[in-house]
Structure 1
């Protein structure tokens, strides 16, 4: 088939590679003329790493990323609540990786460019069906143009033009009053140098993990995310700024909240003040759609299911979409049947994750511990049953598609 993918992000490029591997003729159209390695760190869960391994990218991931050993939940005093082994240490078939988002995108861009047509400066603004084909309407620096294909895949993010065909009255993304500041800082390794930590609670949370090996001076590139509630959630609340990767943040917006978060194993205000870059981002999502396909087009990744960045699901679920779409097209000769099969597999799970993350997802346990012991605890078992914590975390993981190898 001839397939156009609108969007050259992680999901769109993974889809291009997965579809090309199954013999399809793929063209990727990216709005940005020359992509740059924007953003900061993300986590790739083992089931997404398995997809990338199938595309021959596992050696590159080992070179570029940190193999995550565990996810530790902690309170705002730095006291551990639960340690969840990850990747191979957690019994999965593949590692979990902490990696720079932009570097992963650029590696996927290079891999895709060697195998399919990848064009920058091509913004898909609409798709229409014409005689059993899909026609992408494209804006370029040289003026509008059109390109026809058997299928157009919208992987164009939370502000997707293709999504607007399905939900023309949707409006801006939903905001529940939380802003995120994402940064990277060269700092001494913490814990084992491979651990991801989520500390605090829903009103003030600090997520931190390394995204590179220590350099010669012993410092490691540490990725961190600071969440702070600015407004109470209310119907119709929209973010003060458009969600993108380019708005710079300021330490002075964070230090009143996180300035005293100095743990035995981590200096939070030190990471904030020494950041080499800091980006501000509203925590937004959209309501799940009743369908992803319209005629000869469908959606993938954030265009289909933008969700709060809880549980490392953003890039992971986009990668899982890419694999599912390629497999559905390979299993069904009829395009309508294939798109229905893809949607039936992916849409219900992603809708569940959107809803779980609105209820704080894995982070709900942080709020419970904060409410029970705001000044900290001598023994976690005095305030909450550790088995109850484990059960809650494992229930979320199962619903989000985690599957161990044993």
Structure 2
């Protein structure tokens, strides 16, 4: 079935959705509120099942050119003592790698593919959704120019809200929802800096506890790796406030070095080859962000309108799920539309397939059992330890495995 489909949002989910719908014979076009698509952001992880979907779209070679295939994720205490680790991607027996790469490079790969396959006008920037009349056929959509404020009316058979945490489409579909995202009290700082490879050059390190201070570091550039360097993505997490609705949650908000460095002044993890203060000081731009999500929705859309990615299910950045789940959404949506006798039936089939699994992930992220155990290690052995088994029981160590199985699956 051919249909004219408008996608609000040119992020990872929206671009993947456009590529998949085009492949299936639909006519997708994207409207994006930002006036220019730039390769902004920091690192992102793609789980093997998301890599498989992008490879099926013909993007496997482009990903392999820029991304680092992550081989291991390992937890350490704040002194660099190893607590627990597991293989990832190919090293764990998956058919596809887990990739770590710069979010901007991933978005660029997707955007280039959309332009090549759908044409140069497939993504219209500087165009925000203003209102929606979805009680007729076709849909009547009002768009607003981000530059001039001028409004235009257009028509479409389907509207997909892939417009992120502050989704305009979600707000129109669910006007009674709490308008602000929900903060868990943890502040995150993020950045990238060129450094030396550490450990095997393919490990994601998680050290400390976010009850006091926690650090995540991993390499994200295959090009830097080929030069003998490492482009290191780092994320610092510190609990600084009480949970509740929060204003100002934006991925591109600039943070201050002094604010984050105050929590990591003496973090020199010699065993891992990481000088954390030096890494942070070498960072060109630091981003600051509250760890937020929203309450899961029982239904995402209505009629010929639905949601996708963070617009549908924003979640904490645990288990490498945000971008991966948006990609899985996009692929599932196209399959459901192709297989259904009508567009509304296809959208509901998509939601029935995806809502329960991703809502369960949102709630699993909130539980954060691995972080509770990292906090227990910090409390039981504040000055370090020789063996993890002297600090955590076998059952506690096994529970970390179980927690990541819950948060790293489909």
Instruction: Provide the TM-score with structure 1 as the length reference.
Output: 0.94
The answer to whether the Cα contact below 8 Å between 1:302 and 1:314 also exists between their aligned partners in 2 is yes
- Of residues 108, 111, 114, the one that matches 2:110 is 108
The answer to whether the Cα contact below 8 Å between 1:176 and 1:284 also exists between their aligned partners in 2 is yes
- Matched residues in 1 for 2:188 and 2:242: separation? 15
Which stretches in structure 1 are left out of the alignment for 5+ residues?
none
Matches within 5 A, 1:184-203: 184-203=192-211
- Deviation track 1:97-133 (CA, whole Å, cap 9, x = no partner) reads 0010011112211111222221111111232225322
The answer to whether the Cα contact below 8 Å between 1:163 and 1:303 also exists between their aligned partners in 2 is yes
Aligned match of 1:343: 351
- Matched residues in 2 for 1:24 and 1:178: separation? 42
Aligned match of 1:353: 361
Are 1:118 and 2:128 counterparts?
A: no
Aligned partner of residue 98 in structure 1, secondary structure: strand
Matches within 5 A, 1:3-402: 3-116=5-118, 117-140=122-145, 141=147, 143-169=150-176, 170-203=178-211, 204-213=213-222, 214=224, 218-233=228-243, 237-239=244-246, 241-264=247-270, 265=272, 266-360=274-368, 362-386=370-394, 388-389=396-397, 391-400=398-407, 402=409
- Matched residues in 1 for 2:133 and 2:378: separation? 51
RMSD: 1.7
Which stretches in structure 2 are left out of the alignment for 5+ residues?
none
- Matched residues in 2 for 1:343 and 1:393: separation? 30
- Deviation track 1:202-250 (CA, whole Å, cap 9, x = no partner) reads 22110100111336874311000011111133xxx233x5222322211
- Matched residues in 2 for 1:316 and 1:205: separation? 23
The answer to whether the Cα contact below 8 Å between 1:43 and 1:98 also exists between their aligned partners in 2 is yes
Q: Residue 399 of structure 1: CA displacement?
A: 3.0
- Matched residues in 2 for 1:191 and 1:85: separation? 14
- Deviation track 1:17-54 (CA, whole Å, cap 9, x = no partner) reads 11111111111111112110110001001111011011
- Matched residues in 1 for 2:400 and 2:308: separation? 27
The answer to whether the Cα contact below 8 Å between 1:329 and 1:335 also exists between their aligned partners in 2 is yes
Residue correspondences, number? 398
